[in-house]
Structure 1
């Protein structure tokens, strides 16, 4: 049985089709990433899958339950980390966990017995009696993750779980998510951090304007959609980047420019690197291609609001 199955899902808001015929399936025990620019339809798709929003058409099965008909039954075995923290400021950290457990019909004694383990998992040992206002942004985010695990869910939905966090907090959450996956949990993740998706996801889907663009493992998508080497060239001291690009365009399979930076996508970079070493006023970075390169190629460099 798949953890989540979606077939020809559609949703229209204000005359705009924000989810346009999406179909995908998530196998149990993996981390599945849903990637796309702002406004691509990611959060709406998650809400549809959870039964929080009704679809205009299409079929959804979550944990073997038809959505939205059996959404309440399905959500009993699901945890959710929303895009924005919605902890109750009137309660302490442990009280937030206790009250949330009641929404699932759990006994207070059972939740209280799990609270120390949940707080330790979230790196919040010693913060049981702390008021929400006294917690840092990273602590609040980790408490929101702990709260999503109160009912020991089979599937955890995470909507941009590390946005706004410093590198230390991001790495701690990544470690905890890997632990959940190792324990057999299914993770469904949206993120704007391509390195996060590349680290965590076994499989991912890129969507834009509510439509699927591509789907596969991070390694597979990089191999299929992008050249293996990238050389970023920066004009920092009047090096005339435009002239360099035109004179050397033939040394790369593809060249993109963005502001004062040119991106040379190559299979064999040696000659281009030699010319850059002899160029004045230009700085460069030679690296392997990554998921962000794929994302930019498929969705464009234009700013999305």
Structure 2
């Protein structure tokens, strides 16, 4: 008997796997970003490049300015205006610290004690900013005049003797002094500190305060261990929004100060508008201020922790 050997079934050809379709790129986000990018290029990048280019030029208004890579302009910008740099840094730092000391209690009260009046209280903080910056600064010339009630009160309390000894006022006069400049800056920039603080504090659950008291923490310890750490994003944001514009401010120093309280902004204005050869040095000062401010801000953010800005 002959054995029957089964024939193997014909093997089916293996089909190659279908090609994966590459997902189409969604251009909608880039299209939405385009107006903002154009704005930054035209009104931010181009002016910076123009300032950097002008800072290494030579010439005057009559014959024009030419790019000669004259780096000596930066030597003049750094060495000849030390008092102005010192005043700008000192006034802006004091302004930031005072705004934080004044703004934190205000933001805390509105966030946790404001109740149904929160909107009205925040409006009272914001509404003065609707008035011109210049008009608000000029108003302080009346508030700090020699015969004003505030100055008379400070004189009766002998506060002016202390501030005069420290060099912040002159005799019985507050106007045309460093103290007047800082007062004007604090008033003008205080809302920039309060708004981020309020936003950060409002997100804190009030029950965390109750939990702190349940754990036998007093009010100060609860604030130090719970409220302050949770409000650090507002503290960092508020101080940055105050310090950065305060460094470049010169209106307060020009209207409320004296020749000895000059800041960098005043010198830049003078070089650009009243000096026929001042464009290059004025541009160099601007670049130095931008770089210096950027270094300080980045160091501050790194020290505080960038995650606190989220």
| TM-score of the superposed pair, with normalisation by structure 1 | 0.20
Structure with the largest fraction of strand: 1
Question: Which of 1 and 2 has higher RCO (CA within 8 Å, sep 6+)?
Answer: 2
